[in-house]
Structure 1
Amino acid sequence: MTTAETGEKGSAGGAEEGAGPEGAGAPPAPVKSAVRTVVLLEHFAARPGLHSLADIQHDLSLPKSSLYMLLRTLVNLGWVETDATGTRYGIGVRALLVGSSYIDGDEVVAAARPTLDRLSDDTTETIHLARMDGTSVVYLATRQSQHYLRPFTRVGRRLPVHSTALGKALLATHTDEEVRRLLPRRLEAVTQHTVTDREQLVEELALVREQGYAVDREENTLGLRCFGVAVPYRTPARDAVSCSVPVARLTPGHEQVIKAALFEARDRLSVVTRRM
């Protein structure tokens, strides 16, 4: 995207044209228009629906004229959609196509499909495969519960790493100091059960390492308990598998079945992802 498309001049143009040759020492300067495009798309991805130009400008603190030109360019390219009035904007269908291509081309997702299917059959509950991304986990694949009472899930959903069994299983593959560098001292309370003290979470991660699995005790969704294990094809792990079950349906016997099935799934995935 050129500076003319976003109304940028001067410093933005220098950032795009003044980057030194590869191997010159300092990393190339970021392209301002590209950075703004990514920030805008991620803003829409985190806030479903349509939003006014004024609201977007307020949230992102971008120059209004530049933001408008960027939005119109992305609308023309299909990355952003607008309503009939042309005054409200949201994520476009092109973003879905790119997101789907990421899932379709991921070797771990492809290799995990038979294991996820078997885990779903063994537990009859909702199954997730997720990847750690900063302080979040992102769903890469799901298998819906066979029961009428079941949680709502979708591929691409992003959840806090500290409030999920998936995230805690992944955090446990990091050292305590790495966890402290990654997370703030006070953590977001998603529900009244969420662990919001980082040091308390660090203590819990020691137990996760010892027992080999993590538990979300209604910390992300009320009425739902989740069990998660990391897939150790790399260290620290970046992917994890979990099983979610409504508390009303969770008996001690069913919990043991879920844990055993998760350990078996982890072992199978460790084999099939060994060379990835």
Structure 2
Amino acid sequence: MGRLVPAVTRALDILELFLDGDGTLSAPEITRKLGLPRTTVHELVTTLAARSYLVPVPEQPGRYRLGVRTYQLGSRYAEQLDLAAEGRQVARNVAETCDETVHVAILEGTDVIYIAKVDSTHAVRMVSAAGRRLPAHCTSVGKMLLASLPREELEARLPGPGDEPLRAMTPNSITSPDELREALTEIRARGVAVERRESNPDVSCVAAPVRDSAGRVVAALSISVPTVRWTEERRVELEALAAEGAAELSARLGYRGAA
């Protein structure tokens, strides 16, 4: 790797300071936070402002906020994001850590669609595949995504009184809408979803939510484990790993908050 350019590094350090707090800073505050000479900060801020990366805050003399140029760059980055491609990369990282099968899925209607899958090195047949649909209520990713819906939207997707029960994929699948509602309430409280042999009689899964730059849940990441390797201790470990993977994918999509 080539040599880093100090002036560019310092300019980027200044821009990144605006990611915290209320988004406005003065030159003295920048000087104090970065420990740079006042003249250096003044020159860098003047240059960034001249290029529209920073703009003065109206009615607050001496204070700056991020300018339109940073928004244009961020928008172009967002346009180039590919959830499936980013999901595959993160899923690969997670799978390398735990050597279990990792999925990323999105919600469409009452089904989940798997957009990324990375297999473990173990020979265990999975019912999923990239591009395949499964009933959301039978999967950890699906339950995570259903739990993230506004309540009105969730109710519009669930069977009403007199409707047929939910479809079962195994004897462990939830078929009662009321039982599903209770499960989703627990998922909202815990922030992770668990599925115990509900879509595959030999596999259990954990899942965590993936958010976009606006904080909306747009996908979920899961880790699937065959029954022979499933224990409560392992579940706790994988819940944490799924949450870490989902957080990494969320960050790649521009999310900066705390899930």
TM-score by length of 2: 0.62
1:162-199 Cα distance to aligned partner (Å, 9 max, x none): 11101000011113332121121421122111111111
Q: Tell me if 1:119 matches 2:94.
A: yes
Question: Deviation at 1:150?
Answer: 4.4
Larger radius of gyration: 2
Structure 1: which amino acid aligns with 2:246? Answer: R
Q: Contact between 1:150 and 1:245, CA under 8 Å: does it hold in 2?
A: no
Matches within 5 A, 1:1-276: 107-185=82-160, 186-233=165-212, 236-274=216-254
> Equivalent residue of 1:238, what SS?
strand
Change (3 A) 1:184 1:230: same
Structure 1 unaligned segments of length 5 or more: list them.
1-104
Change (3 A) 1:188 1:176: same
Equivalent pairs counted in the alignment come to 171
Q: Aligned Cα RMSD in Å?
A: 1.8
Change (3 A) 1:191 1:152: closer
Q: Contact between 2:209 and 2:246, CA under 8 Å: does it hold in 1?
A: yes
Question: Deviation at 1:228?
Answer: 1.0
Question: Deviation at 1:230?
Answer: 1.5
Q: Contact between 2:211 and 2:250, CA under 8 Å: does it hold in 1?
A: yes
Q: How many angstroms apart in 2 are the aligned matches of 1:256 and 1:266?
A: 15
Hey, which bits of structure 1, 4+ residues long, moved more than 4 A? none
Judge which range, 229-238 or 110-119, deviates more. Answer: 229-238
Q: Contact between 1:123 and 1:257, CA under 8 Å: does it hold in 2?
A: no
Question: Deviation at 1:220?
Answer: 0.9
Structure 1: which amino acid aligns with 2:178? Answer: E
Q: How many angstroms apart in 2 are the aligned matches of 1:112 and 1:190?
A: 26
Q: How many angstroms apart in 2 are the aligned matches of 1:117 and 1:126?
A: 9
Q: How many angstroms apart in 2 are the aligned matches of 1:177 and 1:196?
A: 20
Question: Deviation at 1:117?
Answer: 1.3
Q: How many angstroms apart in 2 are the aligned matches of 1:152 and 1:196?
A: 19
Q: Contact between 1:176 and 1:202, CA under 8 Å: does it hold in 2?
A: no
> Equivalent residue of 2:185, what SS?
helix
1:62-119 Cα distance to aligned partner (Å, 9 max, x none): xxxxxxxxxxxxxxxxxxxxxxxxxxxxxxxxxxxxxxxxxxx971122233321111
Structure 2 unaligned segments of length 5 or more: list them.
1-79
Question: Deviation at 1:148?
Answer: 2.3
Who is 2:72 aligned against?
none
Q: Contact between 1:179 and 1:202, CA under 8 Å: does it hold in 2?
A: no
Q: How many angstroms apart in 2 are the aligned matches of 1:259 and 1:150?
A: 22
Question: Deviation at 1:243?
Answer: 0.7
Question: Deviation at 1:274?
Answer: 1.6
Structure 2: which amino acid aligns with 1:207? Answer: E
TM-score by length of 1: 0.58
Q: Contact between 1:150 and 1:246, CA under 8 Å: does it hold in 2?
A: no
Who is 2:53 aligned against?
none
Q: Contact between 1:115 and 1:268, CA under 8 Å: does it hold in 2?
A: yes
Judge which range, 184-193 or 241-250, deviates more. Answer: 184-193
Q: Report % sequence identity.
A: 33
Q: How many angstroms apart in 2 are the aligned matches of 1:214 and 1:168?
A: 7
Q: How many angstroms apart in 1 are the aligned matches of 2:127 and 2:175?
A: 24
